[in-house]
Amino acid sequence: MSKHERSKGWWLWSINPISVALWPFSFLFCILVHVRIRLYRWHWFKSFKLDKPVIIVGNISVGGTGKTPVVQILVNLLKEQGRTPAILTRGYKSDFEADTLLLEPGQHSEQAGDEANMLAELCDCPMALGADRVKTAQALLKRFPQIDVLVADDGLQHYALQRDMEIAVFQPGAYGNGFCLPAGPLREPQSRLRQVDLVIERGSQQVHERFGQCWNLQAPDLTRALDSFCGQAVYALAGIGLPHVFFEGLEKAGLSIQSFAFSDHHRFQEQDIQALQDRPILVTHKDAVKLRGFASDNIWVVPLELELSDDLQYHLNHLLESKLRG
């Protein structure tokens, strides 16, 4: 476990006395997962088929695995193919999990949550928030009839909504000890990955990752290269699923950082940064949308840029053409 690894739920990330003691409950959880899937396949549980194709981008573990940049790449590819995509998202820890919120392309909402607002900035397409994927999708298609494909950000386990294509995103370290809940971090057994159409492995030769040009949160037109922070002490803040990935990426880039990890979807308050005004503060794009209300000129956003390998991009394009044909 790295020095930046999360401490909350620490037993999920290794085989230890607590995870071993919880393993019988994990075994029962896996059985219930299999039963649930079969009940949907046997139509004992109702699932709904939309009249537009649905692409799921999800994962099998709790917490973040970096799905958002993959959603951005997918939406851009669909646009390049002449399609009109829209995004479905739960809006986790927003004010609309139990309701439905529809957003125009590029529209922000303080109530929408961090991931939804970041997706709005990155993807510039219609978006709907709500835990009920079917209800949310129907409302979205009624509001924007020009949509011809839906991309669901995190919906692999939401079998009430039928899908035409599944993409699972894997982040090294996200599977912890390999056990299902509550002994480990998995929401479904790893065998589930054999059933999806495509697995995208972050940190592999499939995906080239780099930090882009940093921009100032108070003055977004002001930019500077990440390596310009080398040789000085900086703070790094992250309230994401795997904050250590961000911190270790900055260190690999040659920066000397003092890191502050917050829980995923942490709602930042001004007091979180009051004592950090003497150095530059580097943050993720996801956290930047929550810091805007009290942005200061020492906060710099470090965007993550993903580029798929030629083989993976060819395979993804081929999948899109075959799965969405007609």
Give me the residue spans of the domains in the chain.
27-207+308-323, 213-302
- Of 94 and 185, more confident: 185
| Confidence tier at 16 by pLDDT (50, 70, 90) | very high
Min mean pLDDT across 104-118, 138-152, 183-197 is at 104-118
pTM of the entire predicted model: 0.88
- The 3-class SS string of the chain reads CCCCCCCCCHHHHCCCHHHHHHHHHHHHHHHHHHHHHHHHHCCCCCCECCCCCEEEEECCECCCCCHHHHHHHHHHHHHHCCCCEEEEECCCCCCCCCCCEEECCCCCCCCCCHHHHHHHHHHCCCEEECCCHHHHHHHHHHHCCCCCEEEEECCCCCCCECCCEEEEEECCCCCCCCCECCCCCECCCHHHHHHCCEEEECCCCCEEEEECCEEECCCCCCEECHHHHCCCEEEEEECCCCHHHHHHHHHHCCCEEEEEECCCCCCCCHHHCCCCCCCCEEECHHHHHHHHHHCCCCEEECCEEEEECHHHHHHHHHHHHHHCCC
State pLDDT tens for residues 79-88: 999 999 999 9
Question: If pLDDT is split at 50, 70 and 90, which confidence band does 172 have?
Answer: confident
Q: What is the pLDDT of residue 151?
A: 97
| Matching CATH number, 27-207+308-323, of 1.10.357, 3.40.50, 3.30.1380, 3.30.300 | 3.40.50
**Highest mean pLDDT: which of 28-42, 96-110, 239-253?**
28-42
pLDDT tens digit sequence for 279-294: 999 999 989 988 988 8
